Each structure stands twice: as structure tokens, then as C-alpha cells.
Amino acid sequence: MIAERMRDLAERDQTDLRTVHHFSAGVYAKQMHLPAGHMAVSHKHAYDHLSILAAGVAVVETDHGKQTYRAPACIEIKAGLNHAITAIEDVTWFCIHATNETDPEKVDRVLIQGD
């Protein structure tokens, strides 16, 4: 299963993703920098959302397969679908979510769906 395999890889990869949190009127954007060869951990949400690949080349892996994207790209991530991002080149990635949560310490707990 993708979620288990990706979690195992992510636990071994402790790269600082230089996360920046952006909040504005019910919209949240999580900005991350992934160096080439590194991965953002697999997870899923209870709703569809958009992600923006602002710089670089990345592979998005889901339960349905893999697709490579080159920036700039706007990508729809479907509800309930485990997804992980692997940087082929250094990547700037934005996850865009509708939420009223504005605490960076709580926002992932609100947005990420458990197994």
C-alpha cells in the first residue's frame, strides 16, 4: 500500500522542508521546498484540493499511479486519495486548502484524514 511505503520512507527522510504557512480569509496555502531526491509524506484529505508546483520537477504518486509534472503546474488532488510528492529537481510546492484554522501547529491535524 502506498501510504505505508511512503510513511516508511518519510520517517527516514528528516529534511527541513522550509515550510511557510500562508492564511487569508478561509484559504490556507502550505509552501514547501523539497530538495531534489526528497519526498513530502503520503497523506489524504476528506475533500478535493489544489496543489501548485511553482518551481522544479516532481513526481506525484497516488494509489492510482505516478505522474511527473514540470513547473508551473496546478494539480487537483482528489478526496480520499493517498498522495506523496518526490522532487526530481529542487521543488517549490504549495498545497491549497479551504479552512478557517489559522494556527500552524493545528492546521495539519484539521486537514489530514486519518487511515
Closest CA to 81 of 93, 94, 100, 66: 66
Q: How far is CA 90 from the centre of its chain?
A: 15
| pTM metric for this prediction | 0.80
Cα–Cα dist 71/90, whole Å:
11
Task: Please give the average pLDDT of every successive group of 10 residues along the chain, which has 115 residues.
Answer: 49 69 95 93 85 97 94 94 93 94 86 70
Total of domains in the chain:
1
Residue where the block lists cell 508551473: 72
State which residues form the domain around 75: 2-111
Return the pLDDT at 8. Answer: 53
CATH number where 17 lies? 2.60.120.10
Q: Is 37 left (phi over 0), alpha (psi -120 to 50) or beta?
A: left
Return the pLDDT at 16. Answer: 75
Say if residue 18 is exposed, middle or buried (CB neighbours under 10 Å; 0-12, 13-18, 19+). Answer: exposed
Where is 9: in which H helix or E strand? Answer: helix 2-12
